[in-house]
């Protein structure tokens, strides 16, 4: 029964994401939360991000443990959750990310906070004049971390 419910939830999220072009941003975030919070999703301990410096055209792959802060250029990246669908579902990766732009003097400005989806990087994207950041995948470093219930 739970597998049917998860499958229904996955299809509902897919349909909702397809219709997001005409939906306000707050509704898109709500839809992403529902997909990321689906029962049966697998929690991971590390996220793999790809970052682009638009000035230098430098692309960097960043592996960042959940809950730790990483840096790319002037951005401070903090991943709160990284989840994937179970193997019986269509593949999808969800990551909840907080991104701050560190200004001169060390002050921070929050430039992004929310769920990013690996298959649709433009759906809920970081809007920054110099940098792009998007989710590639999640990883689990050890068998103990896979049972983590964050």
> pLDDT per residue over 42-61, tens digit each?
788 899 999 999 999 999 99
Which residues are within 8 A (CB) of 122 and not within 5 positions of it... i.e. 6 or more apart? Answer: none
CA–CA distance, 135 with 25 (Å, rounded to integer)? 19
| Better pLDDT: 57 or 3 | 57
The pLDDT of residue 142 is 60
> What pTM value is reported for the model?
0.68
> Is there a contact between 83 and 41 (Cβ–Cβ < 8 Å)?
yes
CA–CA distance, 97 with 79 (Å, rounded to integer)? 4
| Better pLDDT: 116 or 1 | 116
The pLDDT of residue 39 is 60
> pLDDT per residue over 76-126, tens digit each?
999 998 888 888 888 888 999 999 999 999 899 999 999 999 888 878 888
Helix (H) or strand (E) holding 18: helix 2-18
The pLDDT mean for the chain works out to 76
3-state SS assignment for residue 19: coil
């Amino acid at each position: 029964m739970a597998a049917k419910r998860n499958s229904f939830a996955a299809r509902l999220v897919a349909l909702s994401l397809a219709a997001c072009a005409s939906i306000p941003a707050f509704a898109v975030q709500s839809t992403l939360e529902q997909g990321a919070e689906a029962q049966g999703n697998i929690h991971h301990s590390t996220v793999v991000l790809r970052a682009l410096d638009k000035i230098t055209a430098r692309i960097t792959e960043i592996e960042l443990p959940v809950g730790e802060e990483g840096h790319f250029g002037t951005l401070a990246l903090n991943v709160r959750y990284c989840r994937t669908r179970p193997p019986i579902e269509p593949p999808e990766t969800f990551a909840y990310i907080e991104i701050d732009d560190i200004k001169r003097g060390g002050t921070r400005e929050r430039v992004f906070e929310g769920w990013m989806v690996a298959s649709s990087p433009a759906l809920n994207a970081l809007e920054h004049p110099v940098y792009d950041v998007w989710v590639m995948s999640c990883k689990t470093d050890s068998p103990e971390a896979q049972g983590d219930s964050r």
